[in-house]
Structure 1
């Protein structure tokens, strides 16, 4: 489960003409605020197969895009995830990423590990009352509640910039490739398509360009997914 329960007041959208528009903002809470958490979901679970979503404008005026989105995502191995992204969650809460499985669970809250528990043997029920093992997995500075440096919000961005520059200078593969990043965009597009069509949408079909005409109508522009993804993406 991934939740981005943020808050943006009406003043945020009124502060610039491009905010809240399809043409210049590219979408709402999903693509603008939630896409980073979508990226984490794909990093953890792999290639998504299908998305079923609802979106709405529930707390703002004079915007074309969604301020609330909820989606169910099915992955290639059968794993299921729930995505929630909003700019209507007053006063704004922390991003949460929860992973639950038959052998353990983990919770990351605002980029800090809040909870971790795993079974030590083949019978998980024998270890269900075991302790939280967050402290064994990461240093104290990365545990929930630890004091963050003033630049914590931009640390991840800086790491990506440094990795990109070092990859170019060193002629190596970057930590995140364009294909991986654009798969995140395809999932977000699938959210918008599913909400518009009111049915599940295949992510491979989005990558293949099957919904380009629908996307152009939804977004009010001639931009298409296939032109962004390019011919090199596996379909």
Structure 2
């Protein structure tokens, strides 16, 4: 299913339970896990090349024109579930959870309809505390003209890695002796044009899902993984709405 898998946790949980009961595989589109940069980072972090993670951040400072939001459903709470965080930045939310582990506390601030005629957030900023003790920041917007390439930054006790778009652009690690990082200068992004998003990671995810069905294993991005990303997004929304720090419980999928 496309991201987000639902706009509320009850529906997402029902989807997972229905798939389990029927003995079928449920997957959620999160193609950036299949970027070369993400796959390299997963191996590098597992091997301890960055040391202990201290900070893990995501910045999605995009732009969408007024025409993009001209349909009444765009940016609506009822149909889309929100704005930039749940629709654009949920990919980077998933990457943070995959790379840095579960989040246990969040706080946030938002600006509703600050630039576009929408009822949900045009701008949102969140503070995170991971289960590991690391901290983090998520910033998401579709109001920042002309749109800037999204970034995920991981800072550890041994160094720093930065992914921009779908490419690794920074690998500054002390006394690193592992495989050479796949560094790039040119990056591709949907920061100002949704049609500019590269297709190769989608193809990799679809192949992974097909292999999961064939072999009976879970896909890399299962329903449970989609649930965790949605849960973090919705908890950030709640923290913004209630203006307080919120905890996220373990094992709720």
Shift of 1:34: 0.4
What is the TM-score with the length of structure 2 in the denominator? Answer: 0.70
Once residues 113 and 196 of structure 2 are traced to their aligned partners in structure 1, the CA distance between those partners, rounded to angstroms, is: 32
- The one of 202, 210, 213 equivalent to 1:168 is 213
Where does the alignment leave 5 or more consecutive residues of structure 2 unmatched? 1-56, 190-194
Paired residues of 2:188 and 2:198 also in contact (CA < 8 A): no
Deviations 1:32-88 (A, max 9, x none): 000000001001111110110111125434311101110011110101010000001
Question: Is the 2:163–2:169 Cα contact (8 Å) retained in structure 1?
Answer: yes
Query: In the comparison of the two structures, how many residue pairs are matched?
Result: 192
Cα offset for 1:21?
A: 0.7
Task: State the structure with bigger RCO (CA 8 A, min sep 6), 1 or 2.
Answer: 2
RMSD: 2.5
CA distance in 2, matches of 1:152, 1:7: 14
Structure 1, unpaired ranges of 5+: 122-132, 209-232
Matched, 1:9 2:65: yes
Q: Is the 8 A contact 1:67 1:88 kept in 2?
A: yes
Contact 1:5 1:85 in 2 (8 A): yes
SS class of match (1:153): coil
What is the alpha-carbon distance in structure 2 between the residues aligned to residue 146 and residue 32 of structure 1?
21
**Conserved in 2, the CA contact under 8 Å of 1:58 and 1:88?**
no
> Given the alignment of the two structures, is residue 77 of structure 1 paired with residue 132 of structure 2, yes or no?
yes
Select the structure of larger CA radius of gyration.
1
Counterpart contact for 2:166–2:188, Cα < 8 Å: no
Flag as ranges the 4+ runs of structure 1 deviating above 6 A. none
Change (3 A) 1:146 1:44: closer
